[in-house]
A = this chain, B = another copy of it.
Amino acid sequence: MSDFFQGTAPLKYDPEAEGLAFRHYNPDELVQGKRMEDHLRFAVAYWHSFAWPGGDPFGGQTFDRPWWGETMEGARLKAEIAFEMFEILGVPFFCWHDADIRPEGATFDESKRNFDEIIALFEEKMESSKTRLLWGTANLFSHRRFMSGAATNPDPDVFAWSAATVKNCLDATHRLNGENYVLWGGREGYETLLNTDLGQEMDHMGRFLSMVVEYKHKIGFKGQILIEPKPQEPTKHQYDYDVATVYGFLQRFGLEKEVKVNIEQGHAILAGHSFEHELAMARELGILGSIDMNRNDYQSGWDTDQFPNNVPEVALAYYEILKAGGLQKGGTNFDAKLRRQSLDPSDLIAAHAGAMDVCARGLKAAARMLEDGALETARRARYAGWETPEAQAMLTSDLDTIARRVAGGGINPEPRSGQQEKLENIVNRYV
């Protein structure tokens, strides 16, 4: 054991604890007949927790970490400490971007060797750890070669570099039995339409994604391929704007049965949607894959990636997820970073522990709302008129026929209360 976390013992569930413990997250507690751990499927994001230096657009690194510096020695130490944290938190999953686990090499091949060595180290550590891989992904946005995009770069060599990188990352995800592979278009978009060929870029992106799906089948990877919607930042516009946009894109390239979405709260907010909207939309379109749990400040127009802290909001998210039958192969990845003033290793533990409790409370509240049934009963009652044969027949009818029924005073619809406040009161009984 390193002394990074100063001997912090694995956290226990203890609702009455004074000190560090889970007050609400009890992995073995059954919720709707399933263990809480199996519902929530928590994952730690390697990037935010171990590679982000605490910078922002107006200032640089604030965190001091013993593994800083682009060396293999640092990368190995980082991995050691990451697995120590996984054990302290008892999380069943983690997630990585290639660039946060290995130093960048001078060449593609050197980067790959660095990467492969760390993957081998992960493989070794995972033999004795309960923590598995939720997903891997390729960081195709940080290095300057990707400044104009990866799959959508005007330079075909960057497309090639990106394709080769994704191949390696997908291979490694497969090797580590990852349950998903994520594509996150950090720079698949544009800064200005003035220099952009929108049609060509979207075509390249569609073809790139198809190749990934083809390769997944070729190597027998059974995990889900996921796209993570985001509307903007760093670019002015990102092609994977939101769930509905991604769905249209997938249909256009015939991929709507092959690819699902990894939905992030913060990205939903930036796109002008609530998190629960994006989850419900994905569920109804059949592409709900996994979630990136965090919280965006509603009043900051950039991606703040805070740890979730508002139980009522989180409850509404898990409500939509439970209605979808749960997360399946997906999980709850904390795509969240410490505030840059939260310098201490203990902040890292506290932030995750608090977030896990918030999610546990949200899940339990969501389950109770479903069990109570008042919300779903009210919803069904509101649409009950559609269950009559006449109403159903109308859906296979035509405008003429319907118009004849309306003419002559056949109907005169009267509005009925939507009862929003009463439904909100019901929610407040459980959160």
Give A402's nearest chain B residue, CB to CB.
Answer: B163
User: In the complex, which residues of chain B have a beta carbon less than 8 angstroms from the beta carbon of A32?
Assistant: none
| Of listed A112, A145, A358, A428, residue having the most chain B CB within 10 A | A428
Partner of A418, one of B161, B163, B166, B339: B339
Query: Which of chain A's residues 409-431 have a Cβ closer than 8 Å to chain B?
Result: 409, 411-425, 427-429, 431
Known: A399-B215, A421-B339, A425-B350. A413 touches B158 (CB 8 A): yes
Chain B nearest CB, measured from A167 CB (Å)? 4
State the number of copies, please. Answer: 4
Partner of A154, one of B212, B350, B383: B383
* A75-83, A86-94, A116-124, A267-275: which lies at the interface: A267-275
User: Could you tell me the dominant secondary structure of chain A's interface residues?
Assistant: helix
Q: For the complex, is A338 an interface residue (Cβ under 8 Å from B)? A: yes
Chain B nearest CB, measured from A57 CB (Å)? 6
User: In the complex, which residues of chain B have a beta carbon less than 8 angstroms from the beta carbon of A57?
Assistant: 55-57, 233-234, 302-303
User: In the complex, which residues of chain B have a beta carbon less than 8 angstroms from the beta carbon of A170?
Assistant: 399
* A2-10, A34-42, A129-137, A197-205: which lies at the interface: A197-205
Cβ–Cβ contact B339 & A200, under 8 A: no
Report how far A411 CA is from B186 CA in the complex, Å: 22
Query: Which of chain A's residues 278-330 have a Cβ closer than 8 Å to chain B?
Result: 280-281, 283-285, 297-303, 307, 309-313, 316, 320
User: In the complex, which residues of chain B have a beta carbon less than 8 angstroms from the beta carbon of A424?
Assistant: 192, 194, 307, 309, 354
Known: A192-B423, A425-B353. A301 touches B298 (CB 8 A): no
User: In the complex, which residues of chain B have a beta carbon less than 8 angstroms from the beta carbon of A385?
Assistant: 154-157
Cβ–Cβ contact A23 & B429, under 8 A: yes
User: In the complex, which residues of chain B have a beta carbon less than 8 angstroms from the beta carbon of A241?
Assistant: 242, 244
User: In the complex, which residues of chain B have a beta carbon less than 8 angstroms from the beta carbon of A244?
Assistant: 241, 244-245, 248-249
Give A61's nearest chain B residue, CB to CB.
Answer: B144
* A174-182, A258-266, A389-397: which lies at the interface: A389-397
Partner of A311, one of B147, B413, B431: B431
When each residue 394-407 of chain A gets 1 if its CB lies under 8 Å from chain B and 0 otherwise, what string results? 11011110110111
User: In the complex, which residues of chain B have a beta carbon less than 8 angstroms from the beta carbon of A405?
Assistant: 160, 164
Chain B nearest CB, measured from A430 CB (Å)? 12
Cβ–Cβ contact A421 & B144, under 8 A: no
When each residue 139-150 of chain A gets 1 if its CB lies under 8 Å from chain B and 0 otherwise, what string results? 001111111100
Q: For the complex, is A128 an interface residue (Cβ under 8 Å from B)? A: no
Partner of A398, one of B158, B214, B231, B249: B214
Cβ–Cβ contact A309 & B391, under 8 A: no
Report how far A252 CA is from B285 CA in the complex, Å: 9
Cβ–Cβ contact B417 & A344, under 8 A: yes
Chain B nearest CB, measured from A1 CB (Å)? 22
Chain B nearest CB, measured from A354 CB (Å)? 4
Cβ–Cβ contact B164 & A399, under 8 A: yes
User: In the complex, which residues of chain B have a beta carbon less than 8 angstroms from the beta carbon of A84?
Assistant: none
Q: For the complex, is A342 an interface residue (Cβ under 8 Å from B)? A: yes
Report how far A10 CA is from B397 CA in the complex, Å: 48
Q: For the complex, is A379 an interface residue (Cβ under 8 Å from B)? A: yes
Q: Could you jot down 20 A-B contacts, CB within 8 Å?
A: A57-B234, A59-B142, A144-B415, A145-B414, A147-B415, A154-B385, A160-B411, A192-B424, A193-B320, A195-B420, A196-B379, A199-B284, A236-B299, A274-B299, A310-B310, A341-B417, A347-B417, A350-B421, A350-B422, A353-B425
